[in-house]
Structure 1
Amino acid sequence: MLDHLNFELITPTAAIHRKLHGARAKCLQRLIRLDMPVPDTVAISSATVRAIAGGQQPEMARLLEYFGSWPVISVRSSPIMPDWGGPGTILNIGMNRANEAFFASRLGSDAAAALHLKFIRSYAVDVARLDDEMFDMPNLTVEKALAAYEDETDEAFPQEVEVQLFNVLKSMARAWEGTSARLLRMSKGAPENAGLGLVVQRMAFGMGKGESGSGVIQFINSDTGDAQEVGRYKRQSQGRDALSGGQDDTMYLTQDERGPSLEESQPEIYTELRRLGRVGRTGLREEMQIEFTLEGGNLYILDAVSAPRTARAEVAIVTKLAHDEIISREDAVLRIEPRAISELLHQQVAPKAKRDVLAAGIAASPGAATGKLVFDSFAAQTSAAQGEACILVRRETSPEDVRGMHAAKGILTERGGANGHAAVIARGLGLPCVAGATDLDINSKARTVTAADGRVLAEGDVVTLDGTRGQILVGSVPLIEAGLSAAFRELLEWADEMRDIGVRANADTPEDAKASMLFNAEGIGLCRTEHMFFGEDRLTVLREAIFAEDAEDRAAALTRLLPMQRADFRDMFLIMAPRPVCLRLFDPPLHEFLPTTRAGIVELADAMDMSAREAQARIDDLGEVNPMLGMRGVRLGITVPEIYEMQARAIFEAAIEASKEGAVVTPEIMIPLVSAKREVEIVKSRIDAVAADVMSETGQKLEYRFGVMVETPRAALRAGDIATHASFLSFGTNDMTQMTYGLSRDDAGRFMSEYVNQGVFAEDPFLALDQDGVGELLAIASERGRQVRSKLTLSVCGEHGGDPESIAFCRSLGMDYVSCSPFRVPVARLAAAQLAIREPLEGDDDLEFPEEAGFVPQ
């Protein structure tokens, strides 16, 4: 039998610790310290609960001594973090024939019988695991319920309070240890061996003579965070009955024309609730939802939890608490989950909207959009020109689809993963994307999608794409708009004052640059310059350059592209000045810019004055067996130097033009897919020569920084050699992950979920940086690079730059900045600030749960 000291009566000075007794126990102690009328409560430690689950029995008589001669009590779960869940509350433990008779004189016979019956029902269903239907019959009485229990279990309903309580505790303890409960809380971030505390509380009945009932009250609007008194009260009820009751038997709290209110019927109690709300806000340093009970006109506070709220409301709440000097600005920044603020940057499906899910896939880019299905870029552009929203559907996307992606409101693909082409482009554009929807059969010729259940949708049919959940919904679904509130901007300004690692944006066009400025990026860390070629006028010219038979013809075609690129670079420099702009030179295989459809091939043949058959033959000649490891990146810069030389000239001439307009410009030029020092030497010498030519021609002095995008394992291992010719190294972790693992980021989505489920990978390495493998390469490269050049600038410019855990790793390596898509910049800014705030506290055992701070997380 367990020692009774495993129980602790909660008093203002009791040794109640969140890690031992859970969040609810600690919160109740804080309420008691604030002189709130909390019924007597005993906390049971997680160690004791685990022992109970194993069959050990505490000294129940000693526990019940805390509750007097006629104990009737409740048991509630108390996990360390409230959102880990736990078994449901069980009320009225201790009701038996003797206690019913005793309380009949105090509460009335009907109330006492009702309390007894409620306990029998909950014990039978939640402890004995009987079918709830046999206890939901009309006109059920205590005697009928006891008889039903005995008929089903072949034993009498326990009358001893000690037996009732132990069985309740054991049932709740074992429910917590169950496989499904464990997996559910682990999905919310709980460790596998997380313990559960329990609290045992004297019942405040809410039923009987005088004004009796139960209710909940909070003082903010859960959707906006604005000050508002919200809640319900129900007479002759217990727990949270008021929230589930119909409109006929519940009361509003404040005066309301729709029905009676507690303010009108019990003004003194209502005034006291408001006072306690203010006390709780200040004392607990949080906006709380308070659960209360009236028993014969006496007010009791049973519990308080963080008031439920959206991410938008949370931002408003914490900034207001900081302004009121209830919490510090650092606290305000720490309270916001970085990933949650994506909700504020994109449209979302309304929380209560009805969902008719056609199919599901990978949630590749957050947000939601409604539009007509279209199956190619031309249809998307046509739809946009007519002012009609559309969702672009492709089996998988390629650079040829980029124009259509710009025109669409959302992107749906049958293939691809979280860091595939569609996902990366969608995140950069701020569009919702569902990738890898393998349950859908997309027929581009018939222009239909067929779902697993046999439903067929055709081009023009309306769907809603939920990129946050990875769902395709049939029809138009209510959406809520993005909300970049003043509170949101202010919170991020506070974060910027606290963080110690830079945050730049990946931006490929002047429009992207404007978006990055909207989110206050410190510069552009990656401009994929090839994305500037997708305009109608530019793509044809680029294709002519690709088809050119010799260097002279190729240079002639590229000369026509030069002013177009120069104009784009000039605009980007002016938009971002004086912030830095890092321009990655041409990277993809050339074949990606060639048409794949018959119509596109005919169009190209006309432009090149050749037959369609000749054009197809030339396209076939340019094809590669494994193009992502073939003629791309720096290999193009060495073997087809005219492309890089044209781009370098465009950059330098644009810098001079922008500087004449007052902008301070020092371009950063980055070459991709390097593997060897000699590659860097060759390309840098050519770029230096172009810079010298431009300075000679214009009479203007030029400064620029030259760097390398480290994407191959060999480049990471030889970073010391490479750094002799580079002033910065930027890690392209998308390709680095792909090459280190030998995984295709576009195809891994087919099996990645199974790998994660079976524990092969802890997380999709394209979403969260693999710190053991890829991370070791980054660490080696960082160390070797800075051994050669101590002031070498280091950064990550892959999509991992927007992942909080990956940012923490980059910061630990001493990187100067991270770069991510514009719509992930706020997430990165907030995550970086939280890391900087927490770092001085590392090693403090109570850091994660500052027990005297008063904060009770939702």
Structure 2
Amino acid sequence: MQPTFFYMCTYIIITSHIILFVVQYATQKCIDFYYVTYYIVFVLICVTYKKGDFFMKTWVLPFNKGNAEQKELLGGKGANLAEMTRLGFPVPQGFTITTTACLDYLENQEYLNPSILTEINIAIAALEDETKKKFGNSQNPLLVSVRSGAKFSMPGMMDTILNLGLNDETVLSLAKDSGDERFAYDCYRRLLQMFGNVVFDMDHQLFEKIVADYKQTHQLVSDSDVTADGWKEVIVAFKVLFVKLKQRDFPQNVEEQLLLAVEAVFKSWNNQRAKTYRRLHGISDSLGTAVNVQEMVFGNFWDTSGTGVVFSRNPATGEAGLFGEYLMNAQGEDVVAGIRTPKSIQTLKKDLPKVYLQLKEICEKLEAHYKDMQDIEFTVEKGKLFILQTRNGKRTAKAKLVIALDLFKEGMITEQELIERIEGNDLEEALHPAFCKEDKKEKESWVSGLPASPGAAVGQIYFSADQAVEASKRGEKVILMRAETSPEDIEGMAISEAIVTCRGGMTSHAAVVARGMGICSVVGCENLSVDEKERVAYADGQVVKEGAVLSVDGTTGDVYIGELRLEKNNTQLPLKELFEMLDKQSSIAVRANAETEKDITTAMELGATGIGLSRTEHMFFEKKRLMLFRKLILAQTLEERIAILETLKEVQKEDFKRMYYVAKGHPMTIRLLDPPLHEFLPKNEEEYQETAEFVGKSAKEIKQKANALAEVNPMLGFRGVRLGVAYPEIYQMQAEAIMEAAVESYFELNNWMEVEIMIPFTTDASEFQRIRQLLEERIQEVFHKYNQPVPYMIGTMIEIPRACILADEIAQYADFFSFGTNDLTQMTYGLSRDDSPKIINQYMTHGLMKEDPFQVLDEKGVGALMKMAIEKGRKIKPELKIGICGEAAAHPDSIAFLKDYAIDYISCSPYRIPQAKLLLAKG
């Protein structure tokens, strides 16, 4: 409890006595009444204080007083350090300055109130007692790390300082106690560099240049070659830099060091890269960050020391077993900064076998305790293992699915927990594209590195985040290439198709951020050199300039010059098991919008329960078919049209049979011809001539016919059901082809095909009734011809507001409704979907629209029309099947309200099916 609590108790007692004295004097009651009243008033005042938050807030909490449930107060890192301390893991002792203190500091114009300062001093004193060391003492100095730790992990976004507590005196003691003068001064120069960068905002490259110049002057290769005297010389140069840039000396007072460091971490909550990260990941700005002050342990202390990052499972693939890397004789920042390329964690078996076995056991225990894959930072000091942090590890979408399913099979989590852990876009992201194998065989990779984040991407390279952002604004697809990324690059990374770095390992900043964002990435390309000033990159004698096109394979770690073709990556994900779970949890099915064999096959593999929209007009765009269809449009008589339709019927029938075959008996909704006829006609002189030769007419006649069919606003003109009214023979031909294919498929496959024929663009019941009657006549002829009926339904696409209003009348004749969200949105808003972006962007910029209604369904307008149509239709026909076939229906925000509608299915593109199934299954 806080020290000031005693002052409050005194205040409460005095206040109680004053009030009771007044009550006794006014009432002249006996002493018994006095005591009863005293206790009542005392309790009431205590409760008032409690509700009014008069008890002092928690500013500082030692690790041994907290637990994993206090992430809001202690941040994720602090809560996990407290939890590991509670569980007895080897955690260096320390304390957490809470998020409450951070918010108080930020709300009070960056002022540390005296209560916080008092509690920090008390916590330091307690840490001194535990460690038997003294903070700032020249004989046995206590050194600490100061690290940020928000509620949600934000890798690299905020700041850290190591070796705090060193100064010109304590460094001498560290050198004496360790018996290693070089080690002591290496720690000291690291403190100056980090402190200058974090606290005083000095460019870290200025410090790096001093080190690089020293090594060049003395012909040294790496930092480990620098002697104690060398680091002393570097430290002098660092101190001069402080004076030159900040007109002050590096602070020798360790208490000042600590307070400046704490304030710097608090301030880092509002730095630009942290704000950008929170915006990209939907993290609130109001949470604040905690600060963890922890006794230093040293990974740069002789050859039996080291530091590293390890995952309890592979964060790229989900495979069980330790995955990570480490550096011997290094501190933690060396690993995550990507300055040195580390070793695989598996080689730790040889370097320090006992430590490896202990680390493996701890990883397994932590994963079992948290019931999730863990990302663990560790340090080994002279052969002794310390755990510095654990958190639920960031992973690729594919790994997330694999890990969740494995944890479920291992009994760590329930089926519902599994579903809730997977985010809405994970399943979509897991199906990353890959390069065509033929292209990869024919092309040599330019450079290779570590496959940090899977997938494949093509784009133009840029060597700075700013240039990448500008290129993205111009509409270019960007590959960000850097020697190494830093947190300042976050905006450039976020808009990139892929990220490539010269240095760094699988846990470097570039790798972690890319995996978290689902961005393809290759890191540690050691034969690659980047000249960011000249905007060129070199490798194997080849020079690539800014703007050049590269192809990046984040799955294999290869980078190619030029463009490789992309194909959908058929990842071996355990989707079937997952889909079975999802289907059990949802009453709404998911179908696919597809009409080609390839797309239908993909849809079935991705869990589609049927085809919700098969667009027959797409079957006529192949060159030979297009010419036949043009001939149909240009025909002068019914006889000519019927002759052409016979040929087209056979073509369509074969298409439908192939579609039925790959759909394997699942229901299929086939939409009759929908677009305006003029879309099929030639549009330039070359096409006029070509069409004229095919149909046996002059180019002039073709052009005149095309002009005659042209409409001012074709999307609101001669299309959909109106074609069926004007040219019933076209719709009858399509119905005949659909049903003949269904009957023949039944004979060949011995499997019923649930055929659903959809009439588009309906506005009126009588219109629909007329077309249905014409279709029924032809369908019965087919059944008579084959002497075999098959199940079928005839319904309509509801895509005009009038159809929603008259849904009860249309439902008398329709077997199903399917909402066409694109046209319904277009007509509800009076906004052309083809021209909408420039208008919608303006509205979103001015805050007049939150979302693009063609991407996320408009619940208030379009949604209200749909809801009305559903209620009206079901009132007339309770068994009326209702679906939604529009890409916007599969958006997470759309599904959020569609789940409450009485619909049977939604239909979307094949690769959005898994995401839609997941979102529908969530609680």
Q: Establish whether TM, by shorter chain, passes 0.5.
A: yes
Alpha-carbon distance between aligned partners in 2 of 1:125 and 1:364, rounded to the nearest angstrom: 34
1:149, distance to aligned residue in structure 2 (A): 1.8
Identify the residue that residue 292 of structure 1 maps to in structure 2.
Answer: 378
Identify the residue that residue 65 of structure 1 maps to in structure 2.
Answer: 125
For 1:10, the aligned partner's letter is F
Identify the residue that residue 105 of structure 2 maps to in structure 1.
Answer: 52
Residues 518-545 of structure 1: per-residue CA shift (max 9 Å, x gap): 2231111011111122334432222122
199 and 622 in structure 1: CA distance in 2 versus 1, 3 angstrom threshold: same
Q: What TM-score comes out, normalization by structure 1 length?
A: 0.78
666 and 478 in structure 1: CA distance in 2 versus 1, 3 angstrom threshold: closer
Contact 2:752 2:791 in 1 (8 A): no
Identify the residue that residue 815 of structure 1 maps to in structure 2.
Answer: 903
Contact 2:160 2:265 in 1 (8 A): no
For 2:702, the aligned partner's letter is A
Residue number among 3, 8, 21 corresponding to 2:61 in the alignment:
8
Contact 1:710 1:731 in 2 (8 A): yes
Residue 329 (structure 2) pairs with residue 236 (structure 1): yes
Residue 635 (structure 2) pairs with residue 548 (structure 1): yes
Contact 1:214 1:240 in 2 (8 A): no
Identify the residue that residue 354 of structure 2 maps to in structure 1.
Answer: 268
Residue number among 658, 663, 671 corresponding to 1:576 in the alignment:
663
Contact 2:66 2:83 in 1 (8 A): no
Structure 1: stretches of 5+ with no match in the other structure: 256-261, 368-453, 840-858
Contact 1:216 1:240 in 2 (8 A): no
Mean CA deviation greater in 819-828 or 756-765: 756-765
The 5-angstrom pairing of residues 674-753 of structure 1 reads: 674-750=762-838
Contact 2:302 2:329 in 1 (8 A): no
Identify the residue that residue 94 of structure 1 maps to in structure 2.
Answer: 165
Contact 2:67 2:86 in 1 (8 A): no
1:583, distance to aligned residue in structure 2 (A): 1.1
Residue 873 (structure 2) pairs with residue 788 (structure 1): no
Identify the residue that residue 416 of structure 2 maps to in structure 1.
Answer: 330
1:467, distance to aligned residue in structure 2 (A): 15
Identify the residue that residue 202 of structure 1 maps to in structure 2.
Answer: 295
Residues 698-748 of structure 1: per-residue CA shift (max 9 Å, x gap): 443354222221222332333333323223221111222233333333333
Alpha-carbon distance between aligned partners in 1 of 2:168 and 2:57, rounded to the nearest angstrom: 28
646 and 323 in structure 1: CA distance in 2 versus 1, 3 angstrom threshold: same
Identify the residue that residue 80 of structure 1 maps to in structure 2.
Answer: 151
Contact 1:78 1:86 in 2 (8 A): no
Identify the residue that residue 448 of structure 1 maps to in structure 2.
Answer: none
Identify the residue that residue 663 of structure 1 maps to in structure 2.
Answer: 751
Residues 4-31 of structure 1: per-residue CA shift (max 9 Å, x gap): 7222223376484223333223333343
1:784, distance to aligned residue in structure 2 (A): 3.1
Q: What TM-score comes out, normalization by structure 2 length?
A: 0.73
SS in 2 for 1:301: strand
Residue number among 17, 21, 24 corresponding to 2:77 in the alignment:
24
Identify the residue that residue 37 of structure 1 maps to in structure 2.
Answer: 90
For 1:72, the aligned partner's letter is L
The 5-angstrom pairing of residues 331-370 of structure 1 reads: 331-348=417-434, 356-357=460-461
628 and 222 in structure 1: CA distance in 2 versus 1, 3 angstrom threshold: same
Identify the residue that residue 595 of structure 1 maps to in structure 2.
Answer: 682
For 2:401, the aligned partner's letter is V
For 2:104, the aligned partner's letter is A
1:317, distance to aligned residue in structure 2 (A): 2.5
Contact 2:595 2:615 in 1 (8 A): yes
CA RMSD after TM alignment: 3.7
SS in 1 for 2:777: helix
Contact 2:66 2:79 in 1 (8 A): no
Contact 2:458 2:551 in 1 (8 A): no
1:191, distance to aligned residue in structure 2 (A): 3.4
Contact 1:36 1:301 in 2 (8 A): yes
Alpha-carbon distance between aligned partners in 1 of 2:598 and 2:68, rounded to the nearest angstrom: 58
The 5-angstrom pairing of residues 283-432 of structure 1 reads: 283-348=369-434, 356-357=460-461
819 and 111 in structure 1: CA distance in 2 versus 1, 3 angstrom threshold: same
Residue 366 (structure 2) pairs with residue 280 (structure 1): yes
Alpha-carbon distance between aligned partners in 1 of 2:840 and 2:277, rounded to the nearest angstrom: 20
Alpha-carbon distance between aligned partners in 1 of 2:710 and 2:632, rounded to the nearest angstrom: 16
Residue number among 288, 308, 311 corresponding to 1:218 in the alignment:
311
Alpha-carbon distance between aligned partners in 1 of 2:761 and 2:401, rounded to the nearest angstrom: 41
Q: Count residues in correspondence.
A: 737
Alpha-carbon distance between aligned partners in 2 of 1:179 and 1:620, rounded to the nearest angstrom: 57
Identify the residue that residue 630 of structure 1 maps to in structure 2.
Answer: 717
SS in 1 for 2:675: coil
173 and 718 in structure 1: CA distance in 2 versus 1, 3 angstrom threshold: farther
Identify the residue that residue 507 of structure 1 maps to in structure 2.
Answer: 594
Contact 1:586 1:644 in 2 (8 A): yes
More contact order relative to length (CA 8 Å, sep ≥ 6): 1
1:202, distance to aligned residue in structure 2 (A): 2.3
Alpha-carbon distance between aligned partners in 1 of 2:589 and 2:475, rounded to the nearest angstrom: 27
Residues 43-87 of structure 1: per-residue CA shift (max 9 Å, x gap): 333332122123231223234334213243223232332258630
Mean CA deviation greater in 559-568 or 63-72: 63-72
Contact 2:396 2:430 in 1 (8 A): no
Mean CA deviation greater in 586-595 or 566-575: 566-575
SS in 2 for 1:772: helix
Contact 1:217 1:291 in 2 (8 A): yes
522 and 15 in structure 1: CA distance in 2 versus 1, 3 angstrom threshold: closer
556 and 276 in structure 1: CA distance in 2 versus 1, 3 angstrom threshold: same
Residues 141-198 of structure 1: per-residue CA shift (max 9 Å, x gap): 4444334323432334334444333332332323322455324311222235443333
Residue number among 520, 523, 527 corresponding to 2:614 in the alignment:
527
Between the aligned residues of both structures, percent identity stands at 34
Max Rg structure = 2
1:512, distance to aligned residue in structure 2 (A): 3.1
Contact 2:424 2:892 in 1 (8 A): yes
SS in 2 for 1:555: helix
Contact 2:576 2:607 in 1 (8 A): no
1:354, distance to aligned residue in structure 2 (A): 8.8
709 and 212 in structure 1: CA distance in 2 versus 1, 3 angstrom threshold: same
Identify the residue that residue 275 of structure 2 maps to in structure 1.
Answer: 182
Alpha-carbon distance between aligned partners in 2 of 1:633 and 1:363, rounded to the nearest angstrom: 35
Residue 231 (structure 2) pairs with residue 171 (structure 1): no
Contact 1:49 1:169 in 2 (8 A): no
Residues 521-573 of structure 1: per-residue CA shift (max 9 Å, x gap): 11110111111223344322221221122444333322322222223223333
629 and 606 in structure 1: CA distance in 2 versus 1, 3 angstrom threshold: same
Residue 884 (structure 2) pairs with residue 829 (structure 1): no
Identify the residue that residue 128 of structure 1 maps to in structure 2.
Answer: 200
Alpha-carbon distance between aligned partners in 2 of 1:691 and 1:253, rounded to the nearest angstrom: 68
522 and 619 in structure 1: CA distance in 2 versus 1, 3 angstrom threshold: same
1:455, distance to aligned residue in structure 2 (A): 11
Residue 190 (structure 2) pairs with residue 118 (structure 1): yes
Alpha-carbon distance between aligned partners in 2 of 1:669 and 1:627, rounded to the nearest angstrom: 24
781 and 33 in structure 1: CA distance in 2 versus 1, 3 angstrom threshold: farther
Contact 1:28 1:303 in 2 (8 A): yes
Residues 289-342 of structure 1: per-residue CA shift (max 9 Å, x gap): 321112233221001234454333333323222222223343333333342333
1:98, distance to aligned residue in structure 2 (A): 4.7
1:279, distance to aligned residue in structure 2 (A): 1.4
208 and 625 in structure 1: CA distance in 2 versus 1, 3 angstrom threshold: same
